[in-house]
Amino acid sequence: MTNPLATIGRVFLNALAEIGRLSHFAAVAVMHIFMPPIYWRLALHQMWLIGYNSLPVVGLTALFTGAALAQQIFVGGSRFNAESVVPGVVVIAIVRELGPVLGGLMVAGRVSSAMAAELGTMRVTEQIDALTTLSTDPINYLVVPRLIAAVLTLPLLVLVANTIGVLGGFVIGTERLGLNSGTYLQVTTDFLEKADIVSSMVKAAVFGFVIALMGSYHGYNSRGGAQGVGKATTNAVVSAFIMILLANLIITVIVFGNQV
Amino acid sequence: MIKQTNITPMIQMDNVHKSFGTKHVLNGLNLTVQKGESVVIIGGSGTGKSVALKSILGILKPEQGSIKVDGREITTLSNRERKPVLAKIGMLFQGAALFDSIPVWQNVAFGLIQGEGMNKHDAREIAIEKLRRVGLTPDVGDLSPAELSGGMQKRVGLARAIASEPEIIFFDEPTTGLDPIMADVINDLIVECVQDLGATTLSITHDMASARKIADRIAMLYQGKIIWDGDKNEIDTSGNDYVDQFIHGRAQGPIEMQLLKP
Write out pLDDT tens, residues B171-211. 998 888 888 888 888 898 888 888 888 889 999 988 888 88
Q: Could A130 and B97 be called an inter-chain contact, meaning their C-beta atoms sit closer than 8 Å? A: yes
Which residue in chain A has the smallest CA separation from B110? A134
Look at residue B192 in the predicted model and tell me its pLDDT.
86
Task: Say how far apart CA A74 and CA A89 lie, in whole Å.
Answer: 10
Q: Collect all residues of chain B within an 8 Å Cβ-Cβ radius of residue A48.
A: none
Q: Could B99 and A130 be called an inter-chain contact, meaning their C-beta atoms sit closer than 8 Å? A: yes
Task: Say how far apart CA B218 and CA B224 lie, in whole Å.
Answer: 16
Look at residue B5 in the predicted model and tell me its pLDDT.
54
Q: At what angle do helices A55-78 and A144-175 cross, to 10 degrees?
A: 40
Which residue in chain A has the smallest CA separation from B164? A134
How far apart are the CA of A39 and the nearest CA of chain B, in angstroms? 10
Look at residue A111 in the predicted model and tell me its pLDDT.
95
**Residues of chain B that touch chain A, judged by Cβ-Cβ distance less than 8 Å:** 54, 57-59, 79-80, 83, 86-87, 89-91, 93-95, 97-100, 110-111, 114-116, 160-161, 164, 170
Which residue in chain A has the smallest CA separation from B91? A133
Task: Say how far apart CA A146 and CA A254 lie, in whole Å.
Answer: 27
CB-CB contact of A96 with A252 (8 Å): yes
Q: Collect all residues of chain A within an 8 Å Cβ-Cβ radius of residue B80.
A: 35
Q: Could B99 and A127 be called an inter-chain contact, meaning their C-beta atoms sit closer than 8 Å? A: yes
Of A130, A136, A137, the CB nearest to B93: A130
Q: Which of B50, B91, B164, B168 best tests the A interface by mutation, with the highest count of A CBs <10 A?
A: B91
Look at residue B257 in the predicted model and tell me its pLDDT.
64
Provide the percentage of residues in chain B whose pLDDT is more than 90: 13
Look at residue B51 in the predicted model and tell me its pLDDT.
87
Domain ranges of chain A: 40-254
Q: Could A127 and B97 be called an inter-chain contact, meaning their C-beta atoms sit closer than 8 Å? A: yes
Listed in order, strand segments (DSSP E) in B130-234 are 168-172, 200-205, 217-222, 225-231
- Residue A71 CB coordination number (10 Å): 16
pLDDT in tens, B73-105: 888 888 778 888 888 899 999 888 999 989 999
Of A35, A129, A134, the CB nearest to B114: A134
Task: Say how far apart CA A94 and CA B155 lie, in whole Å.
Answer: 56
ipTM over 0.95: no
DSSP for A82-149, written as a single string: -GGGHHHHHHHHIIIIIHHHHHHHHHIIIIIHHHHHHHHHHHHTTHHHHHHHTT--HIIIIIHHHHHH
**Please, which residues have CB within 8 angstroms of residue A257's CB and are 6 or more apart in sequence?**
none
Task: Say how far apart CA A106 and CA A230 lie, in whole Å.
Answer: 19
Q: Which of A135, A141, A220 best tests the B interface by mutation, with the highest count of B CBs <10 A?
A: A135
Task: Say how far apart CA A140 and CA A142 lie, in whole Å.
Answer: 6
In this prediction, the residues of chain A whose per-residue pLDDT falls under 70 are: 1, 260
Look at residue A1 in the predicted model and tell me its pLDDT.
56
How far apart are the CA of A71 and the nearest CA of chain B, in angstroms? 47
* Lowest mean per-residue pLDDT among A97-111, B63-77, B245-259: B245-259
Look at residue A156 in the predicted model and tell me its pLDDT.
96
Task: Say how far apart CA B119 and CA A108 lie, in whole Å.
Answer: 36
Q: Could B90 and A126 be called an inter-chain contact, meaning their C-beta atoms sit closer than 8 Å? A: no
Using the predicted structure, report yes or no on whether residue B219 has a pLDDT greater than 80: yes
Q: Collect all residues of chain A within an 8 Å Cβ-Cβ radius of residue B115.
A: 134-136
Using the predicted structure, report yes or no on whether residue B110 has a pLDDT greater than 70: yes
Cα distances from A29 to residues A127, B20, B202, in angstroms, run 19, 24, 32
pLDDT in tens, B12-62: 998 889 888 888 888 888 988 888 889 999 888 777 888 888 899 888 888
**Please, which residues have CB within 8 angstroms of residue B230's CB and are 6 or more apart in sequence?**
B217, B218, B238
CB-CB contact of B246 with B229 (8 Å): no
Query: The whole model's pTM is what?
Result: 0.86
Please state, rounded to an integer, the average pLDDT across all residues of chain B.
86
Which residue in chain B has the smallest CA separation from A127? B97
**B114 pLDDT tier (thresholds 50, 70, 90):** confident
**B262 pLDDT tier (thresholds 50, 70, 90):** very low
Using the predicted structure, report yes or no on whether residue B1 has a pLDDT greater than 60: no
Q: Could B89 and A133 be called an inter-chain contact, meaning their C-beta atoms sit closer than 8 Å? A: yes
CB-CB contact of B205 with B173 (8 Å): yes
Average pLDDT over residues B209-220: 89
Task: Say how far apart CA A255 and CA A69 lie, in whole Å.
Answer: 23
Look at residue B135 in the predicted model and tell me its pLDDT.
83
